[in-house]
Amino acid sequence: NKKMVIVATTHKDLMEDFNPNIIIDKKFGQTTEIRYFNGSSRPFSLIDQMKIEPASKEDYERLRMFHYLAGKPTAVKTRFRLVHGQEVIGIIVYTLSFRALRFRNQIFPEYKNNIERVNAEILRISRVIIHPKYRGIGLASELVKQTLSLVNARLVETVAAMAKYN
């Protein structure tokens, strides 16, 4: 993207997550060490310390204020939370889908006017909320990826303003 970010710090524990292309390490005196890296994409370093588990209404209520939509999702089928230590830092809510969606009906005409089949086979991601202090490091997409296999659905839909960014 022809952009550059320069970070000056004494905290070397940040290197793994910043994933730099170049490190200029200014040592004591006149000594400077320059190292070059192939900055390939990788997950956030603390992801291994996080776990996904079933969530409750109370878990949703704790994070609800951080979602851009007011109100609560209806027809909730299941929820999962993302936990770091003892802190709930994310939640995903799966609900029954809408009776009819124009794009779904074009791609899957077998669901058109068949609400029983829609309710039996399709779920919708209604909310994905990550606590603000953990945003921007890929946890929302990890939460989606890791919970898709945990729900019993032939199809999972998402109709969301933020979906194009995640």
Phi first, then psi: what are they for 107, rounded to 5°? -85, -40
Q: What is the mean pLDDT of residues 18-36?
A: 85
Higher pLDDT, 34 or 28: 34
Distance, CA of 146 to CA of 82 (rounded, Å): 10
Residue 16: per-residue pLDDT: 74
Residue 127: per-residue pLDDT: 93
**Cα torsion at 35, 38, 39, 41 (round to 10°)?**
-150
The predicted-structure confidence for 44-78, as pLDDT tens digits, reads as follows 777 777 899 999 999 999 999 998 888 889 999 99
Give the predicted TM-score (pTM) of the model.
0.77
Phi first, then psi: what are they for 116, rounded to 5°? -60, -45
